[in-house]
Structure 1
Amino acid sequence: MAAEKELETAVRVVHLASSLCRMVQQKLLLPSSNGGVHVQSKDDDSPVTVADWSVQAIVSWVLSEVFGARNVSIVAEEDTETLSKADSSGLLAAVLDTVNRSLAEAPRYGLPKPDKPLGPTEILEAIGRCNSTGGPKGRHWVLDPVDGTLGFVRGDQYAVALALIEDGKIVLGVLGCPNYPTKKECLSNGCHQIMSKLPGPVSDRSQKGCVMYAKRGSGQAWTQPLLGGDQELVFPNSASLLKVSSVDDPTLATVCEPVERANSNHIFTAGLTNSMGVKKQPLRVYSMVKYAAIAHGDAEIFMKFAHSGYKEKIWDHAAGVVIVEEAGGVVTDAGGRSVDFSRGIYLEGLDRGIVVCSGRALHEKIIGAVYASWDSSNL
C-alpha cells in the first residue's frame, strides 16, 4: 500500500511541477521577459533557472508534508548557495512568488497546500533538505527539477524527473514532459518551439504535454495528459498504457541522442549507427525526453557515450530507466550490464556509455556493434 501512495504522490507532484515549469517558460519566452533575473549560470557555465529551484522546493515540501520530513531523503541537483547570497534577493523573491503561486494550486492535483504562503526561510529549507547522496542502503527520492535546462530556456524540450530508489534499486519513476508533442516529427523540428511562443494559454493551442510513470515489476508504464484550464487531476483513470516500438531492424530505427556535444560523442555514435545500417537522421532531443520517446514508441534507440572524464549522474537517468523497462524496453551500459544506481550520485562503474533500446533483439545488435567499433574509436 505504501508503494501505491508513493507512486500516486509522485505522479501528482510532477504534474504540479510541470504546470509550474510551463508558467515560468512562458515568462521567459515573452519579449519583455527579464531573463537575467530568471536564468543564472552555475560554476560549470550550465544554466539554472527560477523553475529549477522552485520545482525542487515544491517537491521537497510536498513529499515532506505527505510522508513526514524525517522519513524523506532526497537526492537532487540544486543547492541554496546562489539563492542565499546577499545580491540574490531579486532571484529569491522570484522563486518565492513562483513556489507560492504553484502551491496555491496544489489541491487541484490532490495535494496539500500550506496554511499560509511560505517565507524565504521555509523555501531555502525545503531546497536545502535535498542534500542526500543516496547509496546502497535506504530509500532515496531522486529529483532533477528541470532536466534539460538549456532546452527549457530555448522554448524546447525538457523534463521534470522524479524517481524512488530503495537499497540501490529503482522502485518507481515519473517523467513530466510539458512540451512532448502529439506528432513525432515535432520532437526535433521545432514545432514545439513555435507553439510555445504563441500567445494565449497552452491548453488552447495544442494537446502537447504529458506525465509518464511506472512502478518496478508491474510490467506496465503509463502516460497522462497535463491538465488544462480548471481541470482537476484524476489518478489513475485518465492514464493510458505506454508500449515501446516493435521495430527490430536497425535500418528502420530512429535513434535519439543528446543535442549538446559537450558531454556526448556524436562522432562515435554516428560511426556506430552507420555500421549498423541506420538510415534515418538522428533525433537530437534535450533531456530525458529521449527516454520518453523510447517508451512512447516514437524512437527505438538512445545511445550516449560521454567524453573521457565525464560522470553520468543518477538524476539524469533513474526515472527514464524504469519507465522504458516497464514499457518493454531494455537499458544497460555499453557492455550489456544493468546500470548501477547504488553508488551515490554518480553512475560509477559505467562501461563506456548507456544504451537504451525498444527491444532485446535490437539491443543485442547494438551491443555487438559497440564491441566491433570500440577499438577504432577515438574515445
Structure 2
Amino acid sequence: MDSPYRLELEVAIHAAQTAANISRMALSAAQTDAPSAAAFDLIKDDLSPVTVADFAIQAVLTRTLRNAFPEDGFVGEESADELRKNPKLLDRVVAIVRQCAGDSLFRDADDLCDVIDSCTTTKLSGPSPSRIWVFDPIDGTKTFMRGEQYAINIALLLEGKQMLSVVACPLLSVAATAPVLDSSIDPTGEGCIVFGVRGYGAYVRPLSGEWDEVQPRRLERHAEKVTSPEQLRNVTCWALLDSGVDVVHKGVAEQLAVPFPGCDLLGWVPRWVVMALGLANMTVWVYKTRDRYAKIWDHAGAMLLFEEVGGMITDVHGRQIDLTSGRKLQANFGFVAAPKHLHQLVLKAVHDTLKANGREELLA
C-alpha cells in the first residue's frame, strides 16, 4: 500500500503483531493456570474486567510508537493506578512484556507504569499535539476472557480527523464469512489485521508476517454499490449489553426488512471490522439514556475502515462523529452507520422506531 503514512503503518502493524502475541499468551495462561494465577484478576470501577494483556499491550503500543514518533500524543483506555497498588499484577505485566517484546523496551516497572499513565493526560482538543494515537488494548474484554472474538485497536488522528487505522483480530479469519459471531473462531489459528489510510482504501492481511513479506488484499468499496434496502446486512450486539435499547435495534431491522441480528458481536471494533470486510454494512446503536456516551478508543480508526469502503457514519441525530470532544464522545449520541446511498433511510427508520416505542426523549 503506497501512502504518505507508509512508515506509520509499518510501525503500527509490527506493534499490533507484538500486542497480539501478548494477548494470546495471556489468554493461554488464563485457560491453563489455576484460578489464583489466572491472567484475569481485577475489576475496574466500571465493572468491566481488566487483564494483564490490557496493561501490557497499552505499554508496548505506546512506547513502540513514541520511539518512532516522539512528537505525537497518545490516548489509551488504561491507567497504571491498579498496577501501582498491586505488585503481583505488575510483576505479571512486566514478565509478559519482557517475554513478548524483549528486555530493552522499558527500564523498569516504574517506567512501564509511567508510559501507561502518559496515555491519560493527552487532551483531544485545544492545545494538543496535531497528531494523536488512540489505543484500545483489548476491545471485547469479556469475550476475550472466554476465548472469543476481540480486537486490538490502533488509530492515528490528525487535528481530530481519522487518518490511519490498524486493527488486529487474532481470532478472525482473513476468509471469514457471514454471519460472524463472538464464537466464530479462525480454524487456522492465524487471525488477521485490517488496516487503512484516509483516501487510500482499506486492506486485510494475515496477522503474522513482516511488512514486505505479505501482500495485503484491498477491500472492495462494496458499500458504495448498495442502493436497495434488500442489500442491507446488519451487525449488532443483541441482548448482551445493558447500555442499548434492544427493542429499537430490532425494530429498525424489522422496519427495513433486514435479517436480524445478522452478525452479532460484543466488541465495537470487531463490528466496524466486519462492516469493512463486507460481512455487514449497517449498524444502529441507541443508548438507553441521554447521559451515556461512547468512548473514543472503541471507535476511532476502526470507523475509518468502513468509511474507506463507502460507508457513512453519524450519530442518532445525523451529526458527524466528533473525535475532539474528549475520551468520551460527548458531542454525539449513539451511532447510525450504513452505505451512503441508504444512510438517510436507515436514520429515518431509527427516528420512526424510537417514536413508535415511546422513546422520543432520546431524540431531544
Is the TM value for this pair above 0.5? yes
- CA drift of 1:43 comes to 0.8
When residues 236 and 290 of structure 1 are mapped into structure 2, their CA distance, relative to the original with a 3 A threshold, is farther
Partners in 1 of 2:205 and 2:80 — Cα distance?
32
Partners in 1 of 2:215 and 2:132 — Cα distance?
28
When residues 241 and 267 of structure 1 are mapped into structure 2, their CA distance, relative to the original with a 3 A threshold, is same
Partners in 1 of 2:352 and 2:331 — Cα distance?
21
Answering whether residue 269 of structure 2 is matched by residue 257 of structure 1, we say: no
Alignment partner, residue 296 of structure 1: 277
Structure 1 unaligned blocks of 5 or more = 105-113, 196-204
When residues 34 and 176 of structure 1 are mapped into structure 2, their CA distance, relative to the original with a 3 A threshold, is farther
Alignment partner, residue 306 of structure 2: 324
**Among candidates 111, 114, 123, match of residue 133 of structure 1:** 123
Alignment partner, residue 253 of structure 2: 273
Structure 2 unaligned blocks of 5 or more = none
Answering whether residue 364 of structure 2 is matched by residue 375 of structure 1, we say: no
When residues 72 and 11 of structure 1 are mapped into structure 2, their CA distance, relative to the original with a 3 A threshold, is same
Structure 1 residue matching 2:153: 3-state secondary structure: strand
**Among candidates 99, 103, 118, match of residue 101 of structure 1:** 99
Answering whether residue 165 of structure 2 is matched by residue 173 of structure 1, we say: yes
**Among candidates 171, 181, 184, match of residue 177 of structure 2:** 184
User: Please, what TM-score do these two structures have when normalized by structure 2?
Assistant: 0.88
Alignment partner, residue 226 of structure 1: 207
- CA drift of 1:48 comes to 0.6
- CA drift of 1:144 comes to 0.7
Answering whether residue 10 of structure 2 is matched by residue 20 of structure 1, we say: no
When residues 187 and 27 of structure 1 are mapped into structure 2, their CA distance, relative to the original with a 3 A threshold, is farther
User: Given residue 233 of structure 1, which amino acid in structure 2 is its aligned partner?
Assistant: E
Alignment partner, residue 134 of structure 2: 142
Q: Matches of residues 1-379 of structure 1 in structure 2 within 5 Å?
A: 3-30=5-32, 32=34, 34=36, 36-68=38-70, 71-85=71-85, 88-104=86-102, 115=104, 118-131=107-120, 132-135=122-125, 137=128, 138-181=130-173, 182-185=175-178, 187-188=180-181, 190-192=183-185, 206-218=188-200, 220-227=201-208, 232-235=209-212, 237-243=214-220, 244=222, 246-258=225-237, 260-287=240-267, 288-308=269-289, 309-350=291-332, 352-357=333-338, 359-377=339-357, 378=359, 379=362
User: How many residues in Structure 1 have an aligned counterpart in Structure 2?
Assistant: 348
- CA drift of 1:40 comes to 1.2
Structure 2 residue matching 1:8: 3-state secondary structure: helix
Kindly report structure 1 stretches of 4+ aligned residues shifted beyond 6 Å: none
When residues 286 and 189 of structure 1 are mapped into structure 2, their CA distance, relative to the original with a 3 A threshold, is closer
Partners in 2 of 1:95 and 1:125 — Cα distance?
14
CA contact (8 A) 1:38 1:91 kept: no
Deviations 1:89-109 (A, max 9, x none): 1111110011111113xxxxx
CA contact (8 A) 1:161 1:315 kept: yes
- CA drift of 1:2 comes to 6.6
- CA drift of 1:343 comes to 1.5
Deviations 1:178-204 (A, max 9, x none): 111333257227242xx7xxxxxxxxx
When residues 35 and 333 of structure 1 are mapped into structure 2, their CA distance, relative to the original with a 3 A threshold, is farther
User: Given residue 167 of structure 2, which amino acid in structure 1 is its aligned partner?
Assistant: L
- CA drift of 1:258 comes to 2.3
- CA drift of 1:338 comes to 1.7
When residues 72 and 310 of structure 1 are mapped into structure 2, their CA distance, relative to the original with a 3 A threshold, is same
User: Please, what TM-score do these two structures have when normalized by structure 1?
Assistant: 0.85
When residues 317 and 376 of structure 1 are mapped into structure 2, their CA distance, relative to the original with a 3 A threshold, is same
User: Given residue 216 of structure 2, which amino acid in structure 1 is its aligned partner?
Assistant: A
Deviations 1:347-376 (A, max 9, x none): 1221x421222x222323201212322323
Structure 2 residue matching 1:368: 3-state secondary structure: helix
Identity %: 27
Partners in 1 of 2:84 and 2:322 — Cα distance?
34
User: Given residue 239 of structure 1, which amino acid in structure 2 is its aligned partner?
Assistant: P
